[in-house]
Amino acid sequence: MKQEQLHELLYQALETELGGFQVYATALRCAVNEDLKEEWTEYLEQTEEHVQIVQEIMETLGLDPEIETPGRKVVRHIGQALVKAMEMALSSGDPKAAQLVAAESVVLAETKDHLNWELIGEAAKKATGEVAKALKEAHDEVEDEEDEHLYHTTGWTRELWIDSLGMPAVLPPPEEVKKVETAIGAARAKQARGDML
């Protein structure tokens, strides 16, 4: 495994979690649905813990969390753009439209976050010694939460959009009701939505 690129992954993972915190803080200002607010409040707290967990991996690997990398800059830029997009929607004065923008923004942010952790899991399998241990422990702690963040918010986004189109929506979404934690589970929950209306 290329050590330098593993370090780059960790810098991007840290920046994704830091940006994720800002994305959730802004998304909560856009949320109208009470169940969604509750869900995102929980995810905000978990994201705060993920920041610390990545910092702990970096400490084990002797990496300075303050170091800037070109990839990290890009991740930060995207996070800031998502925050800006939600602020634009908020200022247009349509709360339900802003909530949709927030849901899409969370899905975009969590897609990157989910990928990072999937890759950290893969790296843990190839690494050795202390590094392997640090990566594996962090991955075990975070993985299920990341699955939930992505799959449940994807469900929210779809159902809120369906509701906005004036069609019957499943709210909270099937992914949340069925406590989905895998891609297969998410596909099944989506397929079953017709029976949940």
In terms of Cα–Cα distance, which of 45, 24, 37 is closest to 171? 37
x/- binding map, residues 88-127, to Fe ion, per CB under 5 A?
Answer: -------------------------x--------------
- Full DSSP string of 40-93: HHHHHHHHHHHHHHHHHHHHHHT--TT---HHHHHHHHHHHHHHHHHHHHHHTT
> What's the angle, vertex CA 132, arms to CA 19 and CA 130, rounded to 5?
105
Q: How far is the CB of 134 from Fe ion (least distance, A)?
A: 17
Token pair in block for residue 31:
């949320």
x/- binding map, residues 42-81, to Fe ion, per CB under 5 A?
Answer: -----x--x-------------------------------
| Cis peptide preceding 172, ω within 30 of 0 | yes
- State yes or no: residue 152 binds Fe ion (CB under 5 A): no
- State yes or no: residue 139 binds Fe ion (CB under 5 A): no
Q: How far is the CB of 128 from Fe ion (least distance, A)?
A: 26
**Closer to Fe ion at the Cβ: 145 or 175?**
145
Q: How far is the CB of 42 from Fe ion (least distance, A)?
A: 12
Q: How far is the CB of 66 from Fe ion (least distance, A)?
A: 20
* Tokens 């439209």 belong to residue: 97
Q: What number of CA atoms fall less than 13 Å from residue 139's CA on the CB side?
A: 18
Q: How far is the CB of 149 from Fe ion (least distance, A)?
A: 6
**Closer to Fe ion at the Cβ: 146 or 159?**
146
Give residues in contact with Fe ion (CB under 5 A): 47, 50, 113
